[in-house]
């Protein structure tokens, strides 16, 4: 109602103004008319009197003309004409004055009409201008209200910014204090670690010296027993009595008994004690030697690792034999089988492709599907008939080469699986994930039998029967006892770890990190042995893979500039750099166990087969 009243008052105000203006003009016109009438009032009255007289005389003349005789008619007409002539002259004078007056009035009337027309035009334009003015006033009111709201919001935002600034300053000060505390604790931790390492080294030396003395004492005891046995005299007839067969002499029997005791001497089993103690290092060494001899804790024949013939000396590749676009999208992983005749590649196009290596070329053998996302790593089993792969879809998949559909899908991780590896017992596999966990799976159930919680993103894993090594984004390499799910040791790296690889003799560990370097760690001495760098070498991603050659003499990795770098482990020098075949960053490389071929894959779906032939 209030808006309607305001609109009515706003519309009636211009109408009242227009009516008052018109009344003013009418009043002025009436005043002018009265003034002009006063000036010609006498003339007009005289004119009216003359008209009345003329009418009366005209009537009299007509009556006289009708009643007079014919002889008198001509005289009467002459008299009438004379009077008419006199009257007409008087009338002409009066009419000329009236004409002047009327012409002036007509002119004034025309001016009044023109003024009224211009007034109407101005009234219409004034009405339009008033409408526009009311619209502008309405818009101005809306703009002013919006301006007031914006000012209020600006004031609110400024107050919020001031509060955020105060909070930011407090957080910055808190961060500075925490950073100082962290640096002090880091220095202190490094000092404690050095002291711990020195203590462990001294303990290891002491234990080694004790073991040497124990072995020497046992050897001396055995020697004395043998000498004593040799000096004893034995009656041969007594020994051979009751049997027709020839029996060994007492000396031979004693020797066999001593050897049997030596063979039955118990060996030290693997213990999950401190990772830096010499016991765990010795146990790891014994496990490696057991694996080299073909020993296994598994009782199933299918779980035993099949021995593979490995080349004595690996050949350093020198040229590209075959270049092709192996996938529709980028390739993340590549792996040779144990026979060196099969190759598997996996990429972001969600499939694994299997290739036959014949006559220095890669021939497609088949495609393994079933993954919902891209492939991150590939692993052949020692028989070369099964493939294990990790995927971006938070799972690991297990195929048999004669079936393109996964036989098993291991799900349980909450983020992408970055690595999947077989253990020595092929019944179990180990997976590492971005969800900061390492899981151990039983393929016969299939189910997760153990979950190891880690404090950082896991980029890669390698494993043996009783231990697991994992690399992480927090620049740490962690050793785990897979039986107890306990971390036995943390080794700091120079940068964010992108991959791990273990030599075939299980004596050396290769790490690749984002500080653009590769490092080889001697697992027997549990320390970093050598670091490898080169001008131009740069890790192209957080999952760049580096590997050992089959004989352990070389290490190789792909660079962001599309080149393959190969270093000599013994000398530490760059052996060769293979370039000009890749146009994008290399994600992974694989060296055949025969030592003959190297394959590199990159982000632009290209695979290159290298050799020295």
The number of beta carbons lying within 10 Å of the beta carbon of residue 21 is 14
User: Does 37 map to a domain?
Assistant: no
Q: What local confidence, expressed as pLDDT, does residue 87 receive?
A: 55
Which whole number is the average pLDDT over 508-536?
A: 87
Question: For 33-83, what is each residue's pLDDT tens digit?
Answer: 777 777 777 777 777 877 787 777 777 777 766 655 445 555 555 555 555
**Surface-to-core class of residue 245, CB atoms within 10 Å of its CB (0-12 exposed, 13-18 middle, 19+ buried):** exposed
HSE, side-chain direction, 13 A CA sphere, residue 189: 9
HSE, side-chain direction, 13 A CA sphere, residue 312: 0
Q: Using CA atoms of 447, 448, 449, 455 in order, give the dihedral in degrees to the nearest 10.
A: 180
**117 pLDDT higher than 90:** no
Coil vs helix vs strand at 352: strand
Tokens at 170, concatenated: 């407090």
User: Does 94 map to a domain?
Assistant: no
Share of the chain above pLDDT 90, in %: 42
Q: What local confidence, expressed as pLDDT, does residue 526 receive?
A: 66
Which whole number is the average pLDDT over 4-12?
A: 59
Number of separate domains in the chain: 2
The answer to whether 609 and 597 have CB atoms below 8 angstroms apart is yes
User: Does 280 map to a domain?
Assistant: no
The answer to whether 250 and 234 have CB atoms below 8 angstroms apart is yes
The number of beta carbons lying within 10 Å of the beta carbon of residue 577 is 15
User: Does 297 map to a domain?
Assistant: no
**234 pLDDT higher than 60:** no
User: Does 242 map to a domain?
Assistant: no
**91 pLDDT higher than 90:** no
Nearest to 299, CA basis, from 427, 483, 421, 386: 427
Question: For 536-557, what is each residue's pLDDT tens digit?
Answer: 999 989 999 999 999 899 999 9
Which whole number is the average pLDDT over 15-41?
A: 78
Tokens at 509, concatenated: 């560990």
Contacts of 544 (CB under 8 A, 6+ apart): 498, 499, 512, 557, 558, 585, 586, 587, 588
The torsion angles phi and psi of 191, rounded to 5 degrees, stand at -65, -45
Q: What local confidence, expressed as pLDDT, does residue 467 receive?
A: 85
Nearest to 432, CA basis, from 413, 455, 408: 413
Residue with more model confidence, 2 or 37: 37
Interatomic CA distance for residues 249 and 241, integer angstroms: 13
Q: What local confidence, expressed as pLDDT, does residue 97 receive?
A: 64
Share of the chain above pLDDT 70, in %: 77
Coil vs helix vs strand at 152: helix
Longest dimension (CA), the chain: 225
Q: What local confidence, expressed as pLDDT, does residue 73 receive?
A: 52
Residue with more model confidence, 30 or 282: 30
The torsion angles phi and psi of 51, rounded to 5 degrees, stand at -65, -40
User: Does 518 map to a domain?
Assistant: yes
Interatomic CA distance for residues 406 and 191, integer angstroms: 50
Interatomic CA distance for residues 567 and 535, integer angstroms: 13
The number of beta carbons lying within 10 Å of the beta carbon of residue 76 is 14
Chosen domain end from 178, 193, 208:
193
Same domain, 529 and 384: yes
Question: For 309-342, what is each residue's pLDDT tens digit?
Answer: 455 678 899 999 999 999 999 999 999 998 889 9
Q: Which domain holds residue 149?
A: 104-193
**600 pLDDT higher than 60:** yes
**274 pLDDT higher than 60:** no
Which whole number is the average pLDDT over 291-296?
A: 39
Sheet harboring 546-548: ordered strands across? 546-548, 554-558, 564-568, 574-578
**244 pLDDT higher than 70:** no
Contacts of 4 (CB under 8 A, 6+ apart): none
Chosen domain end from 193, 208, 239:
193
The answer to whether 558 and 564 have CB atoms below 8 angstroms apart is yes
User: Does 185 map to a domain?
Assistant: yes
Query: What one-character DSSP code corresponds to residue 301?
Result: G
Q: What local confidence, expressed as pLDDT, does residue 51 receive?
A: 78
CATH number (domain holding residue 571): 2.130.10.10
Same domain, 407 and 548: yes
Which whole number is the average pLDDT over 485-492?
A: 86
**257 pLDDT higher than 60:** no
Same domain, 189 and 332: no
Least confident of 18-22, 52-56, 83-87: 83-87
Q: Distance from CA of residue 180 to its chain's centroid?
A: 32
Contacts of 209 (CB under 8 A, 6+ apart): none
**Residue 17, H or E segment:** helix 2-39
- The pTM score is 0.52
**Surface-to-core class of residue 251, CB atoms within 10 Å of its CB (0-12 exposed, 13-18 middle, 19+ buried):** middle
Query: What one-character DSSP code corresponds to residue 462?
Result: E
The 3-state secondary structure of 99-148 reads HHHHHHHHHHHHHHHHHHHHHHHHHHHHHHHHHHHHHHHHHHHHHHHHHH
Same domain, 189 and 325: no
The number of beta carbons lying within 10 Å of the beta carbon of residue 313 is 10
Q: Distance from CA of residue 399 to its chain's centroid?
A: 30
User: Does 32 map to a domain?
Assistant: no
For β-strands 497-502 and 447-453, DSSP reports them as unpaired
**205 pLDDT higher than 80:** no
The answer to whether 590 and 336 have CB atoms below 8 angstroms apart is yes
Q: What local confidence, expressed as pLDDT, does residue 248 receive?
A: 40
Tokens at 336, concatenated: 């040779």
Chosen domain end from 193, 209, 228:
193
Contacts of 22 (CB under 8 A, 6+ apart): 119
Per the rule left: phi > 0, alpha: psi between -120 and 50, beta: everything else, 536 is: left
């Amino acid at each position: 109602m209030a808006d309607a009243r305001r609109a009515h008052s706003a519309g009636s105000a211009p109408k009242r103004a227009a009516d008052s203006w018109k009344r003013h003009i009418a009043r002025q016109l009436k005043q002018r008319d009265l003034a002009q009438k006063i000036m010609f009032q006498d003339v007009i009255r005289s004119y009216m009197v003359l008209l009345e007289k003329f009418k009366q005389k005209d009537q009299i003349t007509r009556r006289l003309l009708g009643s007079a005789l014919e002889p008198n008619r001509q005289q009467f007409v002459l008299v009438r004409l004379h009077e008419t002539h006199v009257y007409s002259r008087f009338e002409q004078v009066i009419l000329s004055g009236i004409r002047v007056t009327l012409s002036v009035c007509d002119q004034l009337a025309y001016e009044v009409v023109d003024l009224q027309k211009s007034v109407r035009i101005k009234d219409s334009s004034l009405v339009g201008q008033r409408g526009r003015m009311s619209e502008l006033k309405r818009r101005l009111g809306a703009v002013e209200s919006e301006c007031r709201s914006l000012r209020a919001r600006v004031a609110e935002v400024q107050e919020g910014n001031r509060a955020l600034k105060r909070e930011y300053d407090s957080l910055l000060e808190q961060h500075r204090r925490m950073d100082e505390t962290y640096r002090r604790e880091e220095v202190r931790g490094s000092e404690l670690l050095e002291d711990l390492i020195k203590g462990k080294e001294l303990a290891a030396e002491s234990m080694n010296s004790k073991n040497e003395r124990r072995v020497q004492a046992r050897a001396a005891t055995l020697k004395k027993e043998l000498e004593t046995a040799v000096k004893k005299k034995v009656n041969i007839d007594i020994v051979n009595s009751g049997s027709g067969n020839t029996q060994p002499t007492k000396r031979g029997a004693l020797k066999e008994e001593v050897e049997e005791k030596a063979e039955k001497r118990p060996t030290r089993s693997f213990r999950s004690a401190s990772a830096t103690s010499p016991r765990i290092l010795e146990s790891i060494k014994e496990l490696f030697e057991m694996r080299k001899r073909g020993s296994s804790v598994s009782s199933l024949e299918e779980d035993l690792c099949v021995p593979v013939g490995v080349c004595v000396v690996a050949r350093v590749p020198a040229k590209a034999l075959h270049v092709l676009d192996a996938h529709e999208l980028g390739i993340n992983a590549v792996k040779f089988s144990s026979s060196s005749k099969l190759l598997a590649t996996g990429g972001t196009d969600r499939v694994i492709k299997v290739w036959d290596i014949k006559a220095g070329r890669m021939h497609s053998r088949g495609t393994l599907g079933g993954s919902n996302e891209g492939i991150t790593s590939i692993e052949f089993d020692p028989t070369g008939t099964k493939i294990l792969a990790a995927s971006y879809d938070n799972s690991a998949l297990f195929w048999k080469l004669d079936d393109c559909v996964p036989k098993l899908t291991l799900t349980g991780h909450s983020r992408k699986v970055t690595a999947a590896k077989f253990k020595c017992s092929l019944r179990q596999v180990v997976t590492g994930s971005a969800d900061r966990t390492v899981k151990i799976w039983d393929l016969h159930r299939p189910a997760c039998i153990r979950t190891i919680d880690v404090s950082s993103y896991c980029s890669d894993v390698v494993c043996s029967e009783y231990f697991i090594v994992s690399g992480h984004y927090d620049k740490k390499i962690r050793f785990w006892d897979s039986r107890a799910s306990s971390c036995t040791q943390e080794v700091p790296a120079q940068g964010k770890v992108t991959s791990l690889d273990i030599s075939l003799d299980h004596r050396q560990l290769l790490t690749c990190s984002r500080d653009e370097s590769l490092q080889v760690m001697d697992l027997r001495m549990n320390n970093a042995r050598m670091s490898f760098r080169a001008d131009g070498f740069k890790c192209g991603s957080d999952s760049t893979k580096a590997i050992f050659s089959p004989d352990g003499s070389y290490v190789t990795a792909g660079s962001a500039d599309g080149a393959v770098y190969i270093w000599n482990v013994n000398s530490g020098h760059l052996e060769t750099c293979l370039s000009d075949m890749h146009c994008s960053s290399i994600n992974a490389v694989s060296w055949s166990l025969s030592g003959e071929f190297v394959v590199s894959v990159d982000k632009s779906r290209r695979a290159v087969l290298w050799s020295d032939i």
